[in-house]
């Protein structure tokens, strides 16, 4: 056991001094939640903005059509009245996003029943708001025009339905809450990835790295059993995976209050206790990840080769998550037998405030731990072979 502890300590100190390992192990853990909050805030704000924020229009010659202005203002439009010498240029220059030009002879033509052409000047190369405002303004003005047209037909005793044989009714069922939940569902996936990324470089450095560097052979001449040697290295990898997860959970805990979830009436309460539960759920996964990464890295002849293999391996645990999400699989007992998938499901339960079933927790922990032990045994067996040197 003393040999194991010595190896573990050395690998941790050695790798904590490596900037490359630190960046690779912890950047996702620290930046992930910030990215997550940013995405959530963006989606929520745009979703809510579309529904509630008024359309902003700059009107030139607004006095010519006071009733149109009144109609627009009733329909949640913010009108800035202005007299612009060259409305096109001012939109081009970006001084105004959307300009409605009402000609001076508007009233005269209106009274005569002639067509009035209103110019709506916008810049389609702009992003975000201006496009949305443009289509909303166009729809509002068209609707106003239809109201006037209908009134005129009725005055002449004609049924208005004759000019609108088809009516399209659009219903968007996606609520802001549903969109927020879609992003929330990626969180367990991120968490599993953070565990694997935490151990990624250590798994390489302690196996393929050590061999490439020529320090493995002298190490094998030390009076330490291969089991202690390998388990010490795995222990260090688990430590890094754990550090990565702790940083992630801390960062997440700090970031959560910044998500404007209350605007859609949702409550996301992730307390420190929840973070501890999530950590506990993931402990067997850390051992599993460390052993899996170490076994694969042991087959590689060089650092680079190991890196290539592991970047593929790291996708494997995320596969079941993607598949179940696409297939919309419900939480069930059999899911708990699959490492990474069971942890992700349990973490998802914690986040959405559901109570974890003790049986599920138990099955997840035991089955993942058993697989982790098998992989660790395989790693030790690989190190007992002479081939590990060549």
Residues that bind another protein (CB under 8 A): 2-3, 6-7, 10, 13-15, 17-18, 213-215, 217-218, 220-225, 386, 389
For another protein, the closer of residues 194 and 243 by Cβ is 243
In the bound complex, what is the minimum distance in angstroms from residue 224's beta carbon to another protein? 5
Range list of H helices, 121-271: 129-155, 176-184, 187-204, 210-212, 216-220, 226-255
Lookup result for tokens 């924020």: 53
Strand pairing category for 119-122 and 77-82: unpaired
In the bound complex, what is the minimum distance in angstroms from residue 22's beta carbon to another protein? 12
For another protein, the closer of residues 229 and 313 by Cβ is 229
Region for 365 from its dihedrals, namely left if φ exceeds 0, alpha if ψ lies in -120 to 50, beta otherwise: alpha
Report DSSP state, residue 122: E
Cα 373 off chain centre by: 33
Given CA atoms 33, 241, 307, 367 in this order, what sign does their dihedral have?
A: negative
**What would you report as the CA-atom Rg of the chain, rounded to the nearest whole angstrom?**
32
In the bound complex, what is the minimum distance in angstroms from residue 345's beta carbon to another protein? 39
In the bound complex, what is the minimum distance in angstroms from residue 174's beta carbon to another protein? 52
In the bound complex, what is the minimum distance in angstroms from residue 380's beta carbon to another protein? 15
Please tell me whether residue 327 adopts helix, strand or coil conformation.
Answer: helix
Token pair, residue 378, equals 């395989």
In the bound complex, what is the minimum distance in angstroms from residue 201's beta carbon to another protein? 13
- Between the CA of residue 287 and those of 57, 234, 296, 370, what are the distances in Å? 59, 8, 14, 10
For another protein, the closer of residues 221 and 332 by Cβ is 221
For another protein, the closer of residues 76 and 222 by Cβ is 222
In the bound complex, what is the minimum distance in angstroms from residue 300's beta carbon to another protein? 17
For another protein, the closer of residues 273 and 390 by Cβ is 390
Spatial separation of the C-alpha atoms in residues 19 and 35, rounded to whole Å: 22
For residue 356, report the phi and psi dihedrals to the nearest 5 degrees.
Answer: -75, 135
Token pair, residue 385, equals 């072979």
Lookup result for tokens 């240029």: 89
In the bound complex, what is the minimum distance in angstroms from residue 176's beta carbon to another protein? 49
Token pair, residue 212, equals 């490439």
For another protein, the closer of residues 1 and 327 by Cβ is 1
For another protein, the closer of residues 146 and 222 by Cβ is 222
Whether 206 contacts 236, CB under 8 Å = yes
For another protein, the closer of residues 152 and 213 by Cβ is 213
First to last CA, the chain: 27
């Amino acid at each position: 056991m003393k040999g194991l502890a010595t190896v573990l300590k050395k690998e941790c100190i050695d790798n904590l001094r490596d900037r490359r390992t630190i960046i690779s192990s912890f950047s996702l853990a620290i930046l992930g939640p910030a990215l997550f909050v940013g995405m959530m805030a963006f989606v929520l704000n745009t979703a809510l903005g579309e529904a509630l924020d008024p359309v902003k229009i700059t009107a030139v010659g607004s006095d010519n059509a006071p009733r149109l202005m009144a109609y627009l203002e009733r329909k949640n439009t913010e009108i800035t009245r202005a007299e612009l010498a060259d409305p096109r240029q001012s939109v081009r220059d970006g001084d105004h996003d959307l300009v409605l030009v009402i000609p001076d002879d508007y009233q005269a033509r209106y009274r005569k029943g002639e067509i009035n052409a209103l110019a709506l000047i916008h810049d389609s190369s702009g992003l975000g708001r201006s496009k949305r405002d443009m289509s909303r303004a166009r729809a509002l003005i068209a609707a106003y025009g239809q109201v006037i047209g209908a009134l005129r037909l009725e005055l002449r005793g004609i049924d208005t339905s004759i000019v609108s044989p088809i009516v399209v009714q659009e219903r968007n069922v996606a609520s802001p809450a549903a969109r927020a939940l879609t992003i929330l569902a990626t969180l367990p996936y991120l968490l599993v990835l953070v565990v694997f990324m935490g151990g990624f470089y250590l798994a390489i450095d302690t196996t393929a790295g050590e061999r490439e560097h020529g320090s493995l052979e002298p190490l094998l001449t030390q009076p330490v059993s291969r089991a202690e040697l390998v388990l010490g290295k795995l222990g260090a990898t688990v430590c890094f995976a754990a550090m990565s997860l702790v940083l992630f959970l801390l960062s997440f805990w700090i970031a959560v209050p910044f998500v404007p979830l209350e605007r859609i009436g949702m409550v996301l309460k992730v307390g420190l206790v929840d973070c501890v539960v999530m950590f506990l759920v993931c402990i067997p996964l850390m051992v599993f990840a460390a052993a899996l990464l170490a076994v694969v890295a042991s087959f590689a002849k060089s650092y680079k080769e190991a890196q290539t293999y592991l970047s593929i391996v790291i996708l494997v645990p995320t596969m079941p998550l993607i598949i179940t999400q696409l297939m919309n699989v419900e939480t069930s007992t059999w899911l708990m037998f699959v490492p990474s998938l069971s942890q992700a499901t349990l973490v998802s339960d914690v986040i959405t405030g559901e109570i974890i079933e003790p049986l599920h927790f138990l099955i997840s922990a035991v089955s993942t731990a058993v697989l982790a032990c098998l992989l660790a045994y395989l790693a030790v067996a690989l190190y007992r072979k002479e081939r590990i040197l060549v």
